[in-house]
Amino acid sequence: MGITLGIVGYGEVGGIFGRGLLHKDGIDAVWVWDLKFADAAARAAAEADGMRVAPNMQALCAAADLTISAVTASSTFAVAEEAARHARPGTRFLDLNSASPGTKQEAGAALEAVGVAYVEAGVMTSVPPYGIRVPMLLGGAQAGALATTLGAWGMDARVVSPRLGVASAIKMSRSIMIKGLEALVIESYTTARRYGVEAHVLPTLQETFPQIDWERQGAYFFSRVVQHGKRRAEEMREAARTVHEAGFEPLMTAAIASKQDWVARQAQAGVFDGLNGQSLWQAYADRLLGQAGNHE
């Protein structure tokens, strides 16, 4: 008899994992739950993917032998806490969310108190290009056993520590740099565009860091922040908590969160409507400059 998989959060990441794992040997069924399933169209889309849509968290936890949490960073502990009220002792819980070591430790404590094996994962790069083979670092007392299970499904999961918080510390430290670069590129490029000096600025970046295609990377950064800025801002607030837990004032990380959140608000207001992952960075910058002009 195989495993019944449960996935909490059926967004980009949850959808990729659900569809990618659905037909793996050893998985009998994939149950999913998301708050957006209050909308019939969202439920129908998940069912069309082959998922079994749970009516609530309680039903998902009752069915699942392994629950994967793939929600926004700010919901990490709330989901773990709710799962602890319903999950069966002896089941396992894999937390993919980008949260601080302290948040992961609190989530782990809540689930382990009711007999659920909690394993944290630090997802180390963007999921879509890799699918279920995205590199993940696992932590927790049961990380080794779960890594074996995941590896049999073709996933790239490596144990870094039996202690909770280590994988998250690695993930969060990396995220500060990556999301910080995104925020810096958006601010730098848009400013250069405003003054008409981008043709001078980008070649100097290319000279200093020749391994990076600054035009292409800039377009990618703009598009990802426009698409996922809200989620990235939440992650950066958890990263700021990570810095605070380390004993420092998260001055830079808090600023990155603010920048990501600001871009997300522009996107929500429709500033970037019609642009997509194929658009040039200049198109995104011009939309921001147009907004700035409207407020002069």
Give tens-digit pLDDT for 14-31: 999 999 999 999 999 999
Vertex 9, ends 8 and 15: CA angle to 5°? 110
Note the pLDDT of residue 293: 66
For the chain, what's the residue count?
296
**Global pTM?**
0.90
How far apart CA 296 and CA 291 sit, in angstroms, is 9
Q: Is the pLDDT of residue 191 over 50?
A: yes
pLDDT tier, 291 (very low <50, low <70, confident <90, very high otherwise): confident
pLDDT tier, 77 (very low <50, low <70, confident <90, very high otherwise): very high
C-beta of residue 211 within 8 angstroms of C-beta of residue 70? no
Mean pLDDT, residues 219-234? 95
Residues with Cβ within 8 Å of 225's Cβ and at least 6 positions away in sequence, in order, are 182, 183, 186, 232, 260, 263, 264
Residues with Cβ within 8 Å of 65's Cβ and at least 6 positions away in sequence, in order, are 3, 4, 5, 91, 92
Note the pLDDT of residue 296: 44
Q: Are strands 136-139 and 117-123 parallel, antiparallel or unpaired?
A: antiparallel
Mean pLDDT, residues 37-52? 96
The listed CATH number (3.40.50.720, 3.30.300.20, 3.90.79.10, 3.40.50.300) that belongs to domain 3-164 = 3.40.50.720
Reported CATH class of domain 168-294:
mainly alpha
Q: Is the pLDDT of residue 107 over 50?
A: yes
Domain ranges, ordered by start, for the chain: 3-164, 168-294
pLDDT tier, 204 (very low <50, low <70, confident <90, very high otherwise): very high
pLDDT tier, 292 (very low <50, low <70, confident <90, very high otherwise): confident
